[in-house]
Structure 1
């Protein structure tokens, strides 16, 4: 069985371009892809930091600086006024290629509560495995004939989006602008302050 690294190095970035064209995404993209040349909307880059160190990523870094200056006409894939289920199903079908979406009881309750709290118009952020476009990490790459299962839905009101949890995945905690750890101190006698 090939490792993830071997798969990444042997895979071609060409499907990324066809996906972007199929979705009619009107933005410029950079996809550093191992030592492969990535071509998306006329951007060509070779990233090889593994073998060349920092100099292997300078072209990518420079292109990222230029992209930060670029103002594209970003549009959501869905209408923000659409219901949470419609947003999830649009992403599942159009981006991941899923046949459908199923919801656990917790997810259904999470959707109801998120809408009751007035956060239903927020965009969704789907948390799932990075190994597959499905929510099943053993279905590598871009599988066909699968459904996505939503296990949990909760608002990240401060961040401004709805978290949709698919599959067995751990979420990272959010931090405030100034983490509380910055206030912790120790004096010369070894006493802690700020806890």
Structure 2
């Protein structure tokens, strides 16, 4: 059940993920209850396709490919929705827990590496606790949607290794700080303006995953 990395595999996975995201466009607008340009631009389709290509490059087995591809589609959808309405809907985030646990569980059974699954679960719990604490301290800065997404990304990054959990988490806060600074300097926001944090969390996780390929 190993995945052979070829241009065809990368292209096919990207096309499938992009097509799935495109098929969800109407549903996305419905759950977001918005016709924002972020939802009309096709951003979620491009992000899902790019994530699918990355999934093909990252996965070593078929179950991993399914897990990473499903996460790519979900993340593409979540970025668009969060930018549009500053929400990370439970209907997208919560199902990713059983999806990732099931597919990564199969991957562990295939490889015999049950430690990776345990590490993924531990990382999910750690990030849930960390983000919940931050949201409790500063509820205007982080919402429960961010907390729930942190657990999902913890499963993913934990599967790759603790180092990538740390890198992905720090990268999220660094990227969000850069975005906030740019918006302030360009006068497109002030210190009271809310900034969607989900996209930075997802971008940070993607950056860590990219590093893991070289590592």
TM-score by length of 2: 0.31
Q: Which has the higher helix share?
A: 2
Higher gyration radius (CA): 1
Return the structure number with greater strand share: 1
Name the structure, 1 or 2, with higher relative contact order (CA <8 Å, separation 6+): 2
Normalised by the length of structure 1, the TM-score is 0.33
